[in-house]
Amino acid sequence: MKSIEKSVAEILLKNEDENKIINKTVSLIRKEIGYKLLTFMIFNKNHKFAKRIYTSNKKTYPLGKSKKLPDNFWAVMTVKKKKSFVGNNKKEIEKYFYDHKVITSLGCESILNQVVIFNDETIGTINILHKKNYFTKKHLEKSNIISKCLVSTFINKRKDITYGR
């Protein structure tokens, strides 16, 4: 078994507390992929809104408030087609993200939005941001494996959320 798969299995088998699962997953992402900014977003059942349930930068990207999902290529790819998105330069970030100025002000010029899938539905994303041209196919493979850590946590947090506020 690959070491990353073993790490995912250990997180899932040894931790029941959602906060521990999140913290261990964050540590695994830091070790295996790296990031300048990391957030976890869950989507409501009709895929109209998203809510941040983890952030590595609470000042700039606070927890809790829901936001409307955009109606653009990014949303089609991640939410509807259930495919992770990689934008490896400032131009791609500007094209799809309304907060691109904030993102780039943090030194982030590439993004990997790893979909979290359950029951053939995108239930959220792991959003990993880093320097320009950072993400490779290997990072995408690793993030896909790591996303399995968060399925149960995303499901549990999703059912208690009121969207549109």
**Whole-number pLDDT of residue 162:** 56
Other Cβ atoms closer than 10 A to 71: 9
Cα–Cα distance for residue pair 27/31, rounded to 1 Å:
6
Map tokens 């990993």 to a residue. Answer: 128
What pLDDT, on a 0 to 100 scale, did the predictor assign at position 165? 46
CB 128 within 8 A of CB 114: yes
User: How many angstroms separate the CA atoms of 130 and 150, rounded?
Assistant: 21
- CA torsion angle for 91, 95, 97, 102 (degrees, to 10)? 40
Number of neighbours of residue 138 by Cβ within 10 angstroms: 10
Report residue 124 as tokens: 């959220």
What pLDDT does 44 receive?
87
Tell me how far the alpha carbon of residue 79 is from its chain's centroid.
Answer: 12
For residue 70, give the DSSP letter.
P
Q: Which CATH architecture describes the domain 3-58+65-158?
A: 2-Layer Sandwich (3.30)
Every domain of the chain and the residues it spans: 3-58+65-158
Q: What is the 3-state secondary structure (H, E, C) of 135-159?
A: CCHHHHHHHHHHHHHHHHHHHHHHC
Low-confidence ranges of the chain (pLDDT < 70): 1, 160-165
Q: How far apart are CA 132 and CA 87, in angstroms?
A: 9
- Measured distance CA(147)–CA(12) in Å, rounded: 11
